[in-house]
Structure 1
Amino acid sequence: MWTGTLYALAAGLMWGLVFISPLLLPEYPAALQSVGRYLAFGLIALPLAWMDRRALRQLGRADWLEALKLAAIGNLLYYLCLASAIQRAGAPLPTMIIGTLPAVIAITANLRNARRDGRLPWLRLAPSLVLITAGIACVNRAELATLDLQATGDLSRYAQGALLAFVALACWTWYPLRNADWLRHHANRSPRTWATAQGLATLPLALVGYLLLWLFMGVGGHPFAMPFGPHPLRFAGLMVAIGLFASWLGTLCWNAASQRLPTALAGQLIVFETLAALGYAFALRGRAPGPLTLSGIALLIAGVAWATRIRPSPIEIVADD
Structure 2
Amino acid sequence: MRGDHLNLVIGVAAAIFATFSWSLNFLSPYVTGHYSAYDFIGVRFVFAGALGLLFVAMHWTQVCRLRVGEMALAFCLGMVGYVGYLACIMGGVIYAGPVITPAFLGLVPILTAVIGNATNKTLPWTKLIALVALAACGLCLTNLEHFARGERSAGTPLLIGVCFSLSAVAAWLIFSVFNQRAFERNPQLHPIAWTGLMMTGAGVGTLLLIPLGLQWSVFNFPTLGFGWSNAGHLYMWALSLAVVSSFGGAWAWNIASKRLPMVLTGQLISVETLFAATFGLLVQQRLPAANEIVGLLMILAGAIGAVRLVFAPSV
TM > 0.5: yes
> Does residue 128 of structure 1 match 2:139?
no
Checking the alignment, whether the CA contact within 8 Å between 2:195 and 2:254 is kept in structure 1 is yes
Which position in structure 1 is the counterpart of 2:9?
A: 2
Task: Check whether the contact 1:45–1:196 (CA below 8 A) recurs between aligned residues.
Answer: yes
Matched, 1:75 2:74: no
Percent identity at matched positions?
Answer: 23
How is 1:107-256 mapped onto 2 (pairs within 5 angstroms)? 107-111=114-118, 113-114=119-120, 118-145=121-148, 147=149, 149-150=150-151, 153-210=153-210, 213-214=213-214, 224-227=223-226, 231-256=230-255
The one-letter amino acid of 1:80's match is A
1:225 Cα deviation after fit:
2.8
Q: CA deviation at 1:154?
A: 2.2
From 90, 98, 102, give the equivalent of 1:95: 102
CA deviations 1:165-215 (Å, max 9, x no partner) are 111011111111100111111111221221111112222222333366457
CA distance in 1, matches of 2:230, 2:96: 27
Alpha-carbon separation, structure 2, partners of 1:164 and 1:127: 29
Question: Aligned residue for 2:265?
Answer: 266
Distance 1:80 1:221, change over 3 A: closer
SS in 1 for 2:224: coil
- Shift of the 306–29 alpha-carbon distance from structure 1 to 2, 3 Å rule, reads same
Q: What residue is the counterpart of 1:277 in the other structure?
A: 276
Residue 5 of structure 2 corresponds to none
Unaligned runs of 5+ in 1: 315-321
Note the C-alpha offset of 1:51.
Answer: 2.0
Distance (Å, rounded) in 1 between the aligned partners of 2:13 and 2:99: 29
AA in 1 matched with 2:160: Q
Q: 2:31 aligns with which of 24, 28, 47?
A: 24
Contact 1:103 1:129 in 2 (8 A): yes
Distance 1:195 1:82, change over 3 A: same
- 1:120 is paired with a residue whose SS is coil
Judge which range, 157-166 or 280-289, deviates more: 157-166
Greater CA drift, 62-71 or 198-207: 198-207
Distance 1:215 1:295, change over 3 A: closer
Q: Assess if the C-alpha contact under 8 Å between 1:120 and 1:312 holds in 2.
A: no
Q: 1:173 to 1:26 in 2, by over 3 A?
A: farther
Q: How many pairs were matched up? A: 306
Deviation string for 1:51-97 (max 9, x for gaps)? 21211122221112101220121111100111221233232221111
- Please list every run of 5 or more consecutive structure 2 residues that lacks an aligned counterpart in the other structure: 1-7
| Greater percentage in helix | 2
How far off its partner does 1:15 sit?
A: 0.4
- Alignment-derived partner of residue 18 in structure 2: 11
Q: Could you tell me how far 1:49 is from its partner in structure 2? A: 2.5
- Counterpart of 1:319 in structure 2 is none
1:312 positional shift = 9.3
Matched-pair contact (CA < 8 Å) for 1:8–1:272: no
In structure 2, the CA distance between the partners of 1:142 and 1:215, relative to structure 1 (3 Å rule), is closer
Partner AA of 2:275 in structure 1: A
Distance 2:37 2:213 in 1: 11
Contact 1:81 1:165 in 2 (8 A): yes
Counterpart AA for 1:264:
V
Give 1:261 shift: 0.7
Aligned in 2, Cα 1:215/1:88: closer, same or farther, shift over 3 Å?
closer
Give how far 1:230 is off.
Answer: 8.5
Rounded Cα–Cα distance in structure 2 between residues aligned with 1:208 and 1:120: 41
Deviations 1:298-321 (A, max 9, x none): 00000001111223999xxxxxxx
Contact 1:228 1:235 in 2 (8 A): no
> Under a length normalisation based on structure 2, what TM-score does the superposition of the two structures give?
0.88
* Offset, 1:216: 7.0
Paired position in structure 1 for 2:4 = none
Give the structure 1 partner of residue 287 of structure 2: 288
Q: Secondary structure at the match of 1:20?
A: helix
Which of 48, 56, 78 is residue 55 of structure 2 equivalent to? Answer: 48
SS of residue matched to 2:189: coil
